[in-house]
Amino acid sequence: MRLVGPSGEQVGIVPLAKALELAQEYDLDLVEVAATARPPVCKLMDYGKFKYESAMKAREARKNQAHTVIKEMKLRPKIDPHDYDTKKGHVVRFLKQGDKVKITIMFRGREQSRPELGFRLLQRLAEDVQELGFVESAAKQDGRNMIMVLGPHKKKTEAMAEARAAADARKAERLGRGPAAEQADDEVEQVEETETAEVGTDAETAEVEQPAETAQDA
């Protein structure tokens, strides 16, 4: 077999007995890394450490994967200013997270004869969030609804990296301020989560393959 040393150095072609002797001498494992090679290639390594490092790399790779996600926000053509600001805030949050947003205008009754109301509302929303996203799919009528899709300027991977950096910065700040400040921050976060849960009628996370939860107008 062709033997590779623990630091990657080439030991050369050695018999199995010699390779096992060296493995015992170094207190390492003899691992076959290229069974189809002629002669086969083996390496001296700590196999347990190798498996652990491989698992950590795979975990980090999964962590950095960006899944295509489409959020959905539903509005009425005659939505009042307060509700519009609330819904726009959710759209802004989604775009900052690097997600696409499907905006649906729902027409009821006589509203169906005024499609220009929905079109103007979609145009207004697109202009209000143009710094964060762009119109990926222009407004079009779909039965009693009008639909437009907004895409984020920021890639999902970039948004995830920024979110992790911000979380690390907050954690570092808490550690520097002491446990009392950290507890106070936790209490503030709990209050914010409660408020979000009360307001949260929007679609939180819906992968493309799964039915999207939608936000209904009040």
The tens digit of pLDDT for each residue in 64-117 reads: 666 667 899 999 999 999 999 999 999 999 999 888 999 999 998 888 888 999
CATH number for the domain harbouring residue 123: 3.30.110.10
Burial class (CB in 10 A: 0-12, 13-18, 19+), 46: middle
One domain, residues 93 and 53: no
> For the chain, what is the domain count?
2
Domain of 106 in residue numbering reads as 70-156
Helix count and strand count (H, E) for the chain: 6, 8
The tens digit of pLDDT for each residue in 65-79 reads: 666 678 999 999 999
pTM check: above 0.85: no
